Chains A and B, each alone.
Chain A
Amino acid sequence: MKLHGIHVPHRKNTADSAPVRLAPPKTVAIPMSMHIGKPAKVIVKRGDEVKVGTKIGEADGFVSSPIHSSVSGKVQKVDEITIMNGMKVPCVLIDSDGEQTPDEALAPPAVSDYQSFVDAVRDSGSVGLGGAGFPTHVKLTVKDLSQVQEVVINAAECEPYITSDTRTMLDKSDYIQKGIELLRKYLGVQKFIIGIENNKPAAIAKMQALAQSVPGMTVMALPSIYPQGGEKVLVYNTTGKLIPKGGLPLHVGVIVLNVTTLAFIAEYMETGMPLVEKCITVDGSAIKTPKNVIVPIGTPVADLIEMVGGTKEEPAKALYGGPMMGIAIPSLDSPVMKNTNAIIVMGKKEATPPKTTPCISCGMCVNHCPLRLDPREIALAYKKNAPEDLELLHVDLCMECGCCAYICPAHRPLVQTNKLSKAVLRNYQNAKKEEK
C-alpha cells in the first residue's frame, strides 16, 4: 500500500545558506509554554540578573519542560502572552546586555544510565524541534525498553522553504552520530533509520557517509511527496508499520526524533548548554534576503526580520513554520520559540487566500489524503451537524497536514472544517462518556 500525498513546490532557497549567528536583540520575550503540556513556572522576578542558560522556568509536572534564559542581562518584567491556542501564559522579558555571557554554573550533565540520561534530556529543555514541540524526555520515557525496536530520525523536512534540518545534517553530522550512540547506549536500540526527502542530495550524501561508520544506521532517501515528514507517514514509509489511530509510534515499537532534536541532545550532553537558541530559516515572498540564522529564543520576529536585511514589501502574513502546517503569527512582536524552525513572511500576493468556489465533487481531496479520509463527506457531515457521521468518517484521525485543502480546485477550507469537526466530535464523545 502506498500512502497518498501531494507535490508541493520546494522553494528550498536557503539550502546552501550556512546559518549565521545573529547578535542578541535588545529584549527577548520568552513564553513559559513553547511545548505541548503544562506551561513552566516562572522562577525569576523583575530585576534578577540572568546569564545565557540560567533557568527561568521550572517544568510543572512530567509533561512540561524547563525554560532557560537565552541572553545575559536583567529581567525587565514578567508579562503575559497569548499563545497559539488562545491560552494566556506568563512570559519573561529580559533586557540583554549584549555580552551573551554563559551561566558559570552550567556543566555537562553526569549521565550513567537510562534514567539519568532521560533526566538530563529533560533538564536540557529539549522539545520536538521539528515543529510539534512535544517534550523530548516524555518521548524517551519507556516502561519496557525492549519494546523499542527502532528509532526513526525525521529529517524529511517536507515543508516548502524550510532548510534548518538540512543545515543540521550538513553542519552537525558529528552530533547526529553522537546522538545515535547515546540512544544505543542508554536505550539499547540497535536500529536507526534516518528518513530524508530526495530533494536534499547533499544531506543524503553526508548521512550516507556517516552511516558507513555507524552500525545499525540506515539512510532512506524518500520521494519528495508532502507530508513525508508527518509522523504517521514517515514511520509507515520507513518501517512499513502503521501507527494506530490515537496511538503513539511506541505502539508499533518505534521512537521518532527530529534530526535537529537528536543533534541538540548530543550537544547538550557535551556542553551542558540548554536549549537557548535556534537555527531557523527566514524566507517568504516579503523577505529581501532569505537566510538561515541562529538566534536566541525569544527574539521578536520584527527584530529578526530587521536583522536579516528587512522586507522588500509590506508583510501581510507571517508564519511559525512552513506554509503547509505553519501557524499564522498574530503580530510581529511575537517571539521565536523553541519549536520554531522557520519564520515565513509573505507579501500581499502570497498571503491572500484564493477565492472559495462551490465543491465540484472531483474527489481530489479524498484521493490525496495520506490517511484516506474523505474531507468532502466530513464537510457535509459538519454542515449537517452530525457527530455520529463524523465519528464514522474518523475525522479525529486527521493530522491537519493540509494536502486536501492544497489540492482542492474549489479552494474549500477543508482543514478548517476538519478542525471544527474534530471539536464537534470531541464534545459529542465527552457528552457520551458522561452519560455512562
Chain B
Amino acid sequence: MNKLISTVSPHFSTKRDTTHIMLDVILALCPAAIASVLLFGWRALLVIAVCVGTCVLSEFLFEKLCKRENTISDLSAVVTGMLLAFNLPVTIPVWQAVIGSVVAIIVVKQLFGGIGQNFANPAITARIIMLVAFSGEMTRWVNPVGGFFDEVSAVTGATPLVAMSKGLPLPSYLDLLLGKHGGSLGETCALALILGGLYLLIRRVITWHIPVAFIGTVALMSLVCGQDVLGQLLSGGLMLGAFFMATDYATTPNTKWGKIIFGVGCGLITVLIRFWGNYPEGVSYSILLMNILTPYISRLTRSKPLIGGAKS
C-alpha cells in the first residue's frame, strides 16, 4: 500500500484563492472598461491593453531576474494595469503609459517585496508620479466625443471638477452618471463603476466599510460646505477610488474600524484638496496619504483576542 498523506488540519480549504479574487476584480472593472471604449473610442482599449501588457511583462521579467517565484498567474498585475489605465487620459502617449506601468509594478510593488508587501497602491502611486513627470500629457482631458456617441472631434475639455471650481456650468447629472464628460478614461462613467463596486460587495471581495465611509464623508462635507453634493459624488475619481483603489488589501487596514477610519480619512483629504487645495482633484492623493498612515491605523484598530474575564 502506498503511503498516506499526513498533514496538519484542516484537510480542506476554500476554492477561492488569490487568482479567483483577482478575477472577480477584473470582472468588476469590465463595465467601466467597456464604458471607456464607448465614450472615448478604441484608443481607450489600446491604453488599457498597453498598461495590462506592460504590468504583466514587468512582473514576469522582474521575478525572473530576481529568481523569485512567478506570481503573474495570480492576475494581480492585470488588475494593477487596468486600474492604472483607468487613471490616465485617453490621449496619453503609449511610451508614457509603458513607463507608468513599469513604475507601478517594479518600483511600487516588487521592490517592496511583491504582492501583499507593498505599502502604497501601485496604480495610484504610478499615476501621481506620472502627474509630476508628464504633467502636460496627464492633464490633457478630452471630452468624450471621440467615442461612439458623437462624431470624432478632439475637443479639449475641462473636467467637471475644474468646471465647478471655476464656477462654470456642470454637465447634467445624467451625463455625469453615464460618463459623458472629461476625465481619466476609466473614471468618468460612475454608473459602470458603481455596478462593479456592487459586484465586489456581493462577491465579498470587499466589505462596505471603506466605500461607504469614503463616499459618505465626501457627501457630508459637500453638504456642510454648501457644494453640489451629487455633482461632487459623481465627478472625478471618487467612485473608482472608493470602490477599487481604497479597498486594495495590502495597502489599507483589514479590520472594521480600521477601514472606517481609513475611508473617513480619504473622504476628508479629498474634500480638503477639492475645496481648498490647488488641485481640482484629491482622490488619488487622499488614498496615497492614507496608505502611508495605514500601518498606524492598523496598530490602533488591531483585532482584540477574546480572552474573556479572569478565571474564578
Interface residues of A (CB under 8 A from B): 3, 8, 160, 232, 242-247, 251, 314-319, 323-332, 344, 346, 351-354, 357-363, 366-367, 369-374, 393-394, 397, 400, 402, 405-411, 413, 415-416, 419
The reply to whether the CB of B278 lies closer than 8 angstroms to some CB of chain A is no
CB-nearest residue of chain A to B15 = A354
Any chain A CB within 8 A of the CB of B203?
Answer: no
Specify which chain A residues have a CB less than 8 angstroms from the CB of B12 in the assembled complex: 8, 160, 323-324, 402, 406
Asked whether, in the complex, the Cβ of B311 is within 8 Å of the Cβ of A405, the reply is no
Closest CB-CB distance, A169 to chain B, in whole Å? 24
A373–B305 CB distance below 8 A: yes
CB distance B250 to A251 under 8 Å? Answer: no
Min distance, Cβ B167 to any Cβ of chain A, angstroms: 43
- Quick one: which of B9, B304, B310, B312 has the most chain A CB within 10 A? B9
Q: What's the minimum C-beta distance from A399 to chain B, rounded to whole angstroms?
A: 11
Residue from the list B7, B114, B255 in contact with A328, Cβ < 8 A: B7
Given A328-B6, A353-B7, A360-B115, A245-B308 contact (CB < 8 Å): yes
Q: With an 8 A cutoff between CB atoms, is B71 at the interface?
A: yes
Show the binding face of B for A, using Cβ within 8 Å.
1-2, 4-14, 16-18, 20-21, 69, 71, 74, 76, 114-117, 249-250, 253-255, 302-312
C-alpha spacing A314/B114, complex, angstroms: 39
Number of A-B contacts (CB under 8 A): 157
Closest chain B residue, CB of each to CB of A404: B10
Closest to A402 in B: B10
CB-defined contacts of A370 to chain B, threshold 8 Å: 306
CB distance from B42 to the nearest CB of A (A): 33
A-B contact pairs, 27 of them (CB 8 A): A246-B311, A251-B312, A317-B5, A317-B11, A319-B11, A324-B9, A327-B9, A328-B6, A328-B7, A329-B4, A330-B4, A353-B7, A357-B18, A358-B69, A360-B76, A360-B116, A367-B255, A370-B306, A372-B303, A394-B305, A397-B306, A406-B10, A409-B20, A410-B18, A415-B8, A416-B8, A419-B8
Checking B1, B116, B305 against A397 with a beta-carbon cut-off of 8 angstroms, the contacting residue is B305
Q: Which B residues lie within 8 Å of A407 (CB)?
A: 13-14
Quick check: B71 and A351 within 8 Å, CB to CB?
no
**Complex: chain B residue closest to A348, CB-CB:** B5
Residue of A nearest to B8 (CB): A416
**A405 near B13: Cβ-Cβ < 8 Å:** yes
Q: Are B303 and A332 in contact (CB under 8 A)?
A: no
CA distance A330 to B254 in the complex (A): 38
Q: How distant is the Cα of A232 from the Cα of B4 in the complex, in angstroms?
A: 32
Report the Cα distance A329→B11, complex, angstroms: 12
- Min Cβ gap B65→A in Å is 18
Contact among B2, B5, B254, B305 for A361, CB-based, below 8 A: B254
Q: In whole angstroms, what is the CA distance A429 to B305 when docked?
A: 19
Q: Are B305 and A323 in contact (CB under 8 A)?
A: no
Residues B306 and A371 in contact, CB atoms below 8 Å apart: yes
Q: Are A314 and B2 in contact (CB under 8 A)?
A: yes
Q: Tell me, rounded to whole Å, the shortest Cβ–Cβ distance linking A251 to chain B.
A: 5
Identify B16's interface contact among A319, A323, A409, CB under 8 A: A409
**In whole Å, how far is A409's beta carbon from the nearest beta carbon of chain B?**
5
B residues within 8 A CB of A393? 305
Chain B residue numbers with a CB within 8 Å of A416 are: 8
Contact pick for B249, options A3, A324, A331, A360, CB 8 Å: A360
Which of B6, B17, B306 interacts with A354 by CB under 8 Å?
B17
Indicate if the CB atoms of B115 and A351 lie closer than 8 Å: no
Closest to A417 in B: B8
A346 B250 Cβ-Cβ under 8 A? no
Q: A316-B4, A360-B116, A366-B303 are in contact. List 13 more A-B contacts (CB 8 A).
A: A8-B12, A323-B12, A330-B4, A332-B4, A351-B5, A357-B17, A360-B249, A362-B249, A372-B304, A374-B303, A402-B12, A409-B21, A411-B13
B21 touches A362 (CB 8 A): yes
Q: Is the CB of B9 within 8 A of A372?
A: no
- Minimum CB–CB distance from B15 to chain A (whole Å) comes to 8
B114 touches A409 (CB 8 A): no
* Chain A neighbourhood of B306, CB < 8 A: 3, 232, 242, 370-372, 397
